[in-house]
Amino acid sequence: MIKNWFSDRAFAFSASGIRKVFDLGAKLENPINLSIGQPDFDMPDAAKNAAIEAVRLGKNGYSPTQGIAPLLQRLQKEVDAEYTHPDRSVFLTSGTSGGLVLTLLATVNPGDEVIMCDPYFVMYEAVTKMIGGVPVPVDTYPDFKFPVQKFRDAVTPKTKLILFNSPSNPSGSTASPAEAEAVARLAAEKNLLLVSDEIYSMFCHSEFVSPAKFNPQTLVLGGYSKSYGMPGWRVGFAHGPKELIEQLLKFQQYTFVCAPQPGQWGALAALDCDMSREIAAYRRKRDRLYDGIKDYYEVVKPEGAFYMFPKAPWGTASEFVNAAVTEHSLLIIPGNIFSRYDTHFRISYAASEETIERGIKAFRKLAVKKK
């Protein structure tokens, strides 16, 4: 049987439920798409032109495993200025997701425990299981703050690392400076690797502070996909202790090889582009969506990223999302994709204002539906 071809890890996790919603949306005529977790703005023209020019100049082969020198030097300079850690090295990854895969491959043994907030980005649980690790979700309901005491309580002799995501996908929650410092101190005290996923740091509507400020051993993962509207180019970065970065580079050599070279040249040009207009637009969209549904739903106003995570007003979140899709062509994501609980759902407000207005009307109608 074909099934006998597969490894045990192939059945340790399911296909992404987000992709299932995307597939469903492709079959609908004029859906209200508030599901997709990517910017609705295009990458800056300067970045496009730089990538196109790189292609025309024949820069289509492999780059060095760590990345092209100009972008690498630019990133190292920025990191040195911000952190002043003498041992902090950088390299370019194949997207932030690629950086996460490399990190867990290089650090987690079968049976090792990985602490993460619940709700969590879908890859955290899946990749942990993929390599034989044990996900340890820490409940952050109902306010989605970062409960450091719960992190402490979750630590066991098998704990290897803490995955920390601020601003968060799916809740949009952003750690306060005190919370960032507390989790950094905890990781240092327990000799745990702290991995800070900061892909949404530019989309922060409150003060953003990296836990790496307080713990030099923190590994930071970031990228240019969300900030500059270029998720398809798959260009991310990582920075952390030199010894750890060297191990990640070794794994990159035998997996992703390098980040796509034309995308790296595009990212380098993007760094000189002003994205303040796009960031301000997402703040307005967040406010409009929140004001439009807050009287109908239990919802925490997000402080970053471009997601909102309301509680379903009736039934399970899966039942609610099914009604949203089938009755209103409203595409949203059930919360059990990100969580052990099936109570909330994710909205992405990375959408046009017209789509958000259509969404608000549909949400109001859905809220009063009887069980």
Tokens of 39: 């910017």
Domains and CATH numbers, the chain: 2-43+275-367 (3.90.1150.10), 46-270 (3.40.640.10)
On whether the CB atoms of residues 334 and 309 are closer than 8 A, the answer is no
Residue with tokens 């990223």: 305
Tokens of 365: 């109608």
* Phi, psi torsion values for 236, nearest 5 degrees: -125, -175
Q: Which residues pair with 163 in a beta bridge?
A: 116, 195
- Separation of alpha carbons 335 and 197, rounded Å: 20
On whether the CB atoms of residues 244 and 160 are closer than 8 A, the answer is no
On whether the CB atoms of residues 270 and 51 are closer than 8 A, the answer is no
Residue 345's closest CA among 145, 171, 124, 125?
171
Find the helix or strand (DSSP H, E) in which 91 lies.
Answer: strand 88-93
Q: What is the pLDDT along the chain (371 residues), one digit of tens a residue?
A: 576 787 888 777 776 666 666 666 667 788 999 998 889 999 999 999 999 999 999 999 999 999 999 999 999 999 999 998 889 999 999 999 999 999 999 999 999 999 999 999 999 999 999 999 999 999 999 999 999 999 999 999 999 999 999 999 999 999 999 999 999 999 999 999 999 999 999 999 888 999 999 999 999 999 999 999 999 999 999 999 999 999 999 999 999 999 999 999 999 999 999 999 999 999 999 999 999 999 999 999 999 999 999 999 999 999 999 999 989 999 999 999 999 999 999 999 999 999 999 999 999 999 986 54
**DSSP, residue by residue, 299-334:** -PPP-BTTEE-PBPSSS-HHHHHHHHHHHH-EE-EE
Q: Which residues pair with 113 in a beta bridge?
A: 134, 159
Q: pLDDT for 71-95, tens place per residue?
A: 999 999 999 999 988 899 999 999 9
Q: pLDDT for 152-181, tens place per residue?
A: 999 999 999 999 999 999 999 999 999 999
- Separation of alpha carbons 19 and 36, rounded Å: 9
On whether the CB atoms of residues 344 and 119 are closer than 8 A, the answer is yes
Indicate the pTM of the whole model. 0.92
Residue 269 CB-density burial (10 A; 0-12 exposed, 13-18 middle, 19+ buried): buried
Q: pLDDT for 226-275, tens place per residue?
A: 999 999 999 999 999 999 999 999 999 999 999 999 999 999 999 999 99
- Separation of alpha carbons 157 and 129, rounded Å: 19
